[in-house]
Amino acid sequence: MLISSVSILFQALLLLPLVHAYGHANACRSYCGNLTIDHPFALQSGCGHPGFRDLLFCINDVLMFHISSGSYRVLDIDYAYQSLTLHEPHLSNCDTLVLGNRGNGFVVEPWRSPYLNPAADNVFMLIGCSAESSLFQGFPGKHLPCRNVSGMGCEDYYGCQAWTGLGFSRLGSGYRSGPPECCSVPFEAIKAVNLTKLGCQGYSSAYSLAPLRVTGPDEWSYGIRVKFSVEVNRESYCKACEATGGSCGYDIDGLTGLCMCGSWNSTSNCDSAQSSSSYSCRGTSSLLYTLAAGFFFCMMVWMKSR
Ligand SMILES: *[C@@H]1O[C@H](CO)[C@@H](O)[C@H](O)[C@H]1NC(C)=O
Ligand SMILES: *[C@@H]1O[C@H](CO)[C@@H](O)[C@H](O)[C@H]1NC(C)=O
Ligand SMILES: *[C@@H]1O[C@H](CO)[C@@H](O)[C@H](O)[C@H]1NC(C)=O
Ligand SMILES: *[C@@H]1O[C@H](CO)[C@@H](O)[C@H](O)[C@H]1NC(C)=O
């Protein structure tokens, strides 16, 4: 009886530092609506990867993504597949064409582009582009960049009800009377979807949820699928930081990695000897050690008591 109370008390004492240690873990993780914001993204500056700084903003539980071409709503962040799904109100879909050059398109700052790019299976469909557009340089030659991406393209998109009754020629694919009303391209082919620069009235964007093959354009997923990535060595640095209970971030200069260990910042991880204080951040390995030590101690008390 006494022994078991002692052991419970002991376990409670042992748990105290653990709670303390884990209170600091993931200081950079946050939530916006039902989306989890975790490394390499962050809402606070200093957290996450510098390539994604000043990128995400949580406004009334709606996560917004901001780049030089404008703001987009984030519908999903897939950390396993390393992708973001974005949407904006001026993106045409199967029901509605939004014309008048009101859409954002997609232009990312050059310094961010190593970390952020529309997915290779995302199709951009540029609508109502002028004959002078750089897209059609060489017209009427056969070197138009327009093509299908992941089985999606304008030929099928013309089948959407958004096109009916608009006076657009659905024979665009013939290229006889002028450039097509719609030209579908992968992002890689044009590197920036700037409607003004391309001389286009509007755009749509769709992505495929591989390996699902959908039949018609009314079943495509409309939105912009963006892949994100960080350098391999940075990734292992952050894994080591997080494994020791830290949160991965960066220094104000934006160049040096920082592992935030609650009461102190480390340039390596929270297990490093650089620690001036407290066990609170030594993370998993000391945690296991404490647990093991506690277990053995209780075992000994229990065995002695028999
Ligand atoms: C998040 O909430 C939105 C509605 O606000 C819903 O459409 C979506 O499916 C939810 N996502 C998850 C992963 O629960
Ligand atoms: C650790 O670094 C972050 C980001 O640069 C900073 O905001 C924070 O104040 C630093 N914490 C300490 C204890 O120095
Ligand atoms: C798009 O192109 C126009 C015209 O070339 C330019 O003024 C504008 O800054 C560009 N927008 C972005 C986001 O790069
Ligand atoms: C795109 O796919 C459609 C059918 O899905 C086909 O008719 C069309 O020729 C293709 N276009 C190009 C440019 O390959």
Predicted local distance difference test score (pLDDT) of residue 22? 46
Predicted local distance difference test score (pLDDT) of residue 4? 52
More confident residue, 301 or 279: 301
Does position 184 have pLDDT exceeding 60, yes or no? Answer: yes
**254 pocket-lining for ligand 2 (C-beta < 6 Å):** no
Predicted local distance difference test score (pLDDT) of residue 215? 79
Give the model confidence (pLDDT) of 248-296 as tens digits. Answer: 999 988 778 999 999 999 999 999 865 443 333 334 444 444 455 545 4
Confidence of residue 59 (pLDDT cuts 50, 70, 90): very high
Lowest-pLDDT choice from 8-17, 124-133, 265-274: 8-17
Ligand nearest to the CA of 214: 4
Ligand 2 atom at minimal distance to the Cα of residue 263: 13
Give the model confidence (pLDDT) of 200-249 as tens digits. Answer: 999 999 998 766 667 799 999 999 999 999 999 999 999 999 999 999 99
d(Cα 73, Cα 86) in Å, to the nearest integer?
6
Per the prediction, the chain carries an average pLDDT of 82
**197 pocket-lining for ligand 3 (C-beta < 6 Å):** yes
Does position 144 have pLDDT exceeding 60, yes or no? Answer: yes
Tell me the mean pLDDT in the region 167-196: 78
Q: Which residue puts its alpha carbon closest to atom 3 of ligand 2? A: 46
Residue 268 bridge partners (DSSP) = none
Predicted local distance difference test score (pLDDT) of residue 276? 40
Predicted local distance difference test score (pLDDT) of residue 277? 38
**107 pocket-lining for ligand 3 (C-beta < 6 Å):** yes
Sign of the C-alpha dihedral computed for residues 84, 87, 91 and 92 taken in this order:
positive
Q: Which residue puts its alpha carbon closest to atom 1 of ligand 4? A: 148
C-alpha 261 – ligand 2 centre gap (Å)? 9
Residue 249 bridge partners (DSSP) = 47, 258
Confidence of residue 78 (pLDDT cuts 50, 70, 90): very high
Answer for the pair 171, 236: CB distance below 8 angstroms, yes or no: no
Predicted local distance difference test score (pLDDT) of residue 27? 83
Q: Which of 234, 249, 241, 242 is nearest to 46 (CA)?
A: 249
Q: Which residue puts its alpha carbon closest to atom 6 of ligand 2? A: 46
- Can you read off the two tokens belonging to residue 269? 């991880």
Confidence of residue 185 (pLDDT cuts 50, 70, 90): very high
Ligand 2 atom at minimal distance to the Cα of residue 264: 13
Ligand nearest to the CA of 66: 3
- Half-sphere exposure of residue 12: CA atoms within 13 angstroms, side-chain side: 6
Predicted local distance difference test score (pLDDT) of residue 275? 43
Q: Which residue puts its alpha carbon closest to atom 9 of ligand 4? A: 155
Ligand nearest to the CA of 73: 1
Ligand nearest to the CA of 103: 3
Whose tokens are 């138009």? That residue is 144
Predicted local distance difference test score (pLDDT) of residue 292? 52
Tell me the mean pLDDT in the region 45-61: 95
Phi, psi values for residue 302, rounded to 5° = -65, -40
Lowest-pLDDT choice from 52-56, 108-112, 143-147, 185-189: 143-147
Confidence of residue 126 (pLDDT cuts 50, 70, 90): very high
**46 pocket-lining for ligand 2 (C-beta < 6 Å):** yes
d(Cα 51, Cα 136) in Å, to the nearest integer?
33
**249 pocket-lining for ligand 2 (C-beta < 6 Å):** yes
Predicted local distance difference test score (pLDDT) of residue 8? 45
CB atoms within 10 A of CB 38: 19
**180 pocket-lining for ligand 4 (C-beta < 6 Å):** no
C-alpha 235 – ligand 2 centre gap (Å)? 20
List strands edge to edge, sheet with 265-266.
247-250, 257-260, 265-266
- Percent of the chain residues past pLDDT 70, beyond the cut: 73
**101 pocket-lining for ligand 3 (C-beta < 6 Å):** no
Does position 60 have pLDDT exceeding 70, yes or no? Answer: yes
Predicted local distance difference test score (pLDDT) of residue 253? 82
Does position 114 have pLDDT exceeding 60, yes or no? Answer: yes
SS3 readout for the chain? CHHHHHHHHHHHHHHHHHHHHHHHCCCCCEEECCEEECCCCCCCCCECCHHHCCCEEEECCEEEEEECCEEEEEEEEECCCCEEEEECCCCECCCCCCCCCCCCCECCCCCCCCCEEECCCEEEEEECCCCCCHHHCCCCCCCCCCCCECCECHHHHCCCHHHCCCCCCCCHHHCCCCCCCEEEEEHHHHCCECHHHHCCCEEEEEECCCCCCCCCCCCCEECEEEEECCCHHHHHHHHHHHHCCCEEEECCCCCCEEEECCCCEECCCCCCCCCCCCHHHCHHHHHHHHHHHHHHHHHHHHHHCC
